[in-house]
Homo-oligomer: A and B are copies of this chain.
Amino acid sequence: MKKAVVLHSGGLDSTTLLYKAVAEKYEVFALSFNYGQKHSKEIKLAKLSAKKAGVVEHKVVNLNLDLWGGSALTDDLINIPDYDEKNPEIPITYVPARNMIFLSIAASYAETLGAQDIFIGVSQVDYSGYVDCRQEFIESMEKTINTGTVCAVEKNMPMKIHAPFMFLTKEEEISIGTKLNVDYSLTWSCYKGEEKPCGVCDSCILRQQAFQNAGFKDPLLILNSNS
């Protein structure tokens, strides 16, 4: 079996990805981050879903990006905005260089494991305009990893970044995930870490629309409405 590092935020995309990598017979090493985000609800669920998906190992890296904030997700002085369809700007929930940091650290973990495959659940279809979710960035990042690691440069063991959802909608992801028996009640998308999803932030709206379009009910909402 080939080893793979899967970036696993605990959200809908990365949890679907985790199940997909396991189904594709990779030996999966899941990687999550406590990066100074305002709540750790997604990390708690990430631990449960990683176990349920059947990963070999799950590591949680601590990294205090809240040292400088600059995003509504890491900066106490910036409130999480409500979704605004008409706003063409990249939302303030953008965390500077987040995927670059996560992929660099994933490369470090992968090199140590002897893994050549890294999975990330980004999509440039259904996203919030974050530039580090685009194919162009992923391709550049892969080149950089293969220029800056001993395994690639000296040992002829280059790495591959897999982003299989890049050109899929969230709705299509959910259809894939449902076939893979992903337990979406163990995923968290809301930018706020309250008991129930707020239902008005970007992330909640994108999730709601996706479940609706896919023709499934979000089990997280069913659970919550019963609680």
Contact = CB atoms under 8 A, between A and B. Distances in A.
A125 interface: no
A131 interface: yes
A90 interface: yes
Interface string A93-115: 01111111101110111011100
B149 A97 contact: yes
Contact of A140 (B65, B104, B147): B147
B63 A111 contact: no
A85 interface: no
A148 B112 contact: no
B108 A148 contact: no
A136 interface: yes
A132 B154 contact: no
A190 B26 CA distance: 40
B137 A147 contact: yes
Given A97-B145, A100-B148, A112-B68, A153 B131 contact: yes
A225 interface: no
A143 interface: yes
Contacts of A96: 107-109, 111-112, 149-150
Nearest to A103: B104
A144 interface: yes
Contact of A63 (B63, B131, B145, B154): B63
Interface hub of A67, A70, A104, A143 (most chain B Cβ within 10 A): A104
Interface string A114-149: 000000000000000011101011001101110111
A145 B144 CA distance: 10
A101 B105 contact: yes
Contacts of A144: 100, 137, 140-141, 143-144
A168 interface: no
B62 A62 contact: yes
Closest 4 CB pairs of A and B: A70-B112, A96-B111, A97-B108, A132-B148
